[in-house]
Chain A
Amino acid sequence: MAGMKLAQRNYYGKALADLAEKDPNVVVLDADLADSTKTSEFRKAAPERFIQIGIAEQNMIGVASGLAASGKTVFASTFAVFASGRCWEQIRQAVAYPKLNVKIVATHCGISVGEDGASHQALEDIAIMRALPNMTVISPADAYEAYSATMAIAEFNGPVYMRMGRSESLTVTPDDIPFVIGKASVLREGDDVTLVGTGQMVAFCIEAAAALLEEGIDAEVVNMSTIKPLDTDTLRTSLQKTGCLVTAEEHSVIGGLGSAVAEFLAQEMPTPLEMIGTKDTFGESGTPSQLFERYKLTPADIAEAAKRVLERKKELKR
Chain B
Amino acid sequence: MDYTLEELETKARILRQDVIEATSEAGSGHPGGSLSSADLMAVLYFRVMKHDPADPQWAERDRFILSKGHAAPILYAALAESGYFPKNELLTLRKMDSNLQGHPVKGKVPGVEMSTGSLGQGLSMSCGIALAGKLDNKDYKTFCLLGDGELQSGQNWEAAMLAHQYHLNNLIAIVDRNRLQITGCTENAISLDPLPEKWKAFGWNVIVIDGHSMVQIVEAFRKAKEAEANPTVIIMNTVKGKGVSFMENNRDFHGKTCKIDEKNKAMKELECRTWPE
Using a CB–CB cutoff of 8 Å, the interface residues on chain A facing chain B are 27, 48-49, 51, 53-54, 56, 58-59, 61-72, 89-90, 92-94, 97-99
- 27 pairs, CB–CB < 8 Å, chain A vs chain B: A27-B135, A49-B135, A54-B161, A54-B162, A58-B154, A58-B155, A59-B158, A59-B159, A62-B123, A62-B125, A62-B159, A63-B124, A63-B128, A64-B128, A65-B124, A66-B126, A66-B130, A67-B128, A67-B129, A69-B113, A70-B132, A70-B136, A92-B118, A93-B117, A97-B105, A98-B106, A99-B107
Evaluate contact between B115 and A94: CB separation under 8 angstroms.
yes
A69 & B128 in contact (Cβ 8 Å cutoff): yes
Q: Which of B124, B126, B130 meets A58, CB within 8 Å?
A: B124
Prevailing SS type, chain B contact patch: helix
Q: Does B111 contact A (CB under 8 A)?
A: no
Interface centre among A61, A62, A98 (most CB of B within 10 A): A62
B241 within 8 A of A: no
Of the four ranges (under 10, 10 to 19, 20 to 34, 35 or more), the interface on chain B belongs to 20 to 34
B169 at the interface (CB under 8 A from A): no
* B134 CB, min distance to chain A CBs, angstroms: 10
Shortest C-beta distance, A101 to chain B (Å), equals 12
Q: Within 8 Å of chain A (Cβ to Cβ): is B131?
A: yes
A66-B155 Cα distance, complex, nearest whole Å? 15
User: Are A62 and B105 in touch, CB under 8 angstroms?
Assistant: no
CB distance from B22 to the nearest CB of A (A): 23
Q: Which of B77-131 contact A (CB under 8 A)?
A: 105-107, 113-118, 121-131
Given contacts A56-B162, A66-B129, A90-B121, 4 further A-B contacts (CB under 8 A): A51-B166, A63-B159, A63-B162, A66-B114
Flag if B115 contacts A93 (CB, 8 Å).
Answer: yes
Question: Is B243 an interface residue, CB under 8 A from the partner?
Answer: no
Chain A residues closer than 8 Å to B122, beta-carbon distance: 62
In the bound complex, residues from chain B placing their C-beta under 8 Å from that of A94 are: 114-115, 121, 124-125
Q: How far is the CB of B55 from chain A (nearest CB, A)?
A: 16
- State whether A71 touches B161 (Cβ < 8 A): no
- Which of A54, A56, A61, A67 has a CB less than 8 Å from the CB of B131? A67
Q: Which residue, A27, A65, A67, has most C-beta atoms of chain B within 10 A?
A: A65
Q: Are A65 and B114 in contact (CB under 8 A)?
A: yes
The 10 A-B pairs of least Cβ separation, nearest first, read: A66-B128, A62-B124, A70-B132, A59-B158, A56-B158, A63-B128, A66-B129, A66-B125, A67-B128, A93-B118
Contacts of A58 on B, CB cut-off 8 Å?
121, 124, 154-155, 158
Within the complex, the shortest CB–CB distance from B19 to chain A, in Å, comes to: 24
Distance in angstroms from B275 CB to nearest chain A CB is 34
Q: Please name the residue on chain B nearest to A24 by beta carbon.
A: B135
List the A side residues contacting B125 at CB < 8 Å.
Answer: 62-63, 65-66, 69, 94
Interface residue SS majority, chain A: helix
Question: Across the interface, which residues of B come within 8 angstroms of A66, CB to CB?
Answer: 114, 124-132
Contact of B118 among A49, A69, A89 (CB under 8 A): A89
Nearest B residue to A29, CB-CB: B128
The residues in B between 145 and 175 inclusive whose CB is less than 8 angstroms from any CB of A are 154-155, 158-159, 161-162, 166
Inter-subunit contact B128/A68 (CB<8 Å) = yes
Tell me, rounded to whole Å, the shortest Cβ–Cβ distance linking B12 to chain A: 28
Question: Does A67 contact B162, Cβ atoms closer than 8 Å?
Answer: no
Q: A58-B155, A69-B114 are in contact. Are A93 and B131 (CB under 8 A)?
A: no
Residues of B within 8 Å of A99, CB to CB, are 107
B33 within 8 A of A: no
Q: A59-B124, A62-B123, A93-B117 are in contact. Are A67 and B132 (CB under 8 A)?
A: yes
In this complex, the member of B105, B132, B161, B166 whose beta carbon has the largest number of chain A beta carbons within 10 angstroms is B132
**Distance between Cα atoms of A90 and B224 in the complex (Å):** 29
| Interfacial chain A residues near B114, Cβ < 8 Å | 65-66, 69, 94, 98
| Any A CB within 8 A of the CB of B133 | yes
Q: Which residue on A lies nearest to B123, using beta carbons?
A: A62
- A48 shortest CB reach to chain B, Å: 7
Q: Which B residues touch A48, using CB under 8 A? A: 135
Q: A64 CA to B121 CA in the complex, in Å? A: 12
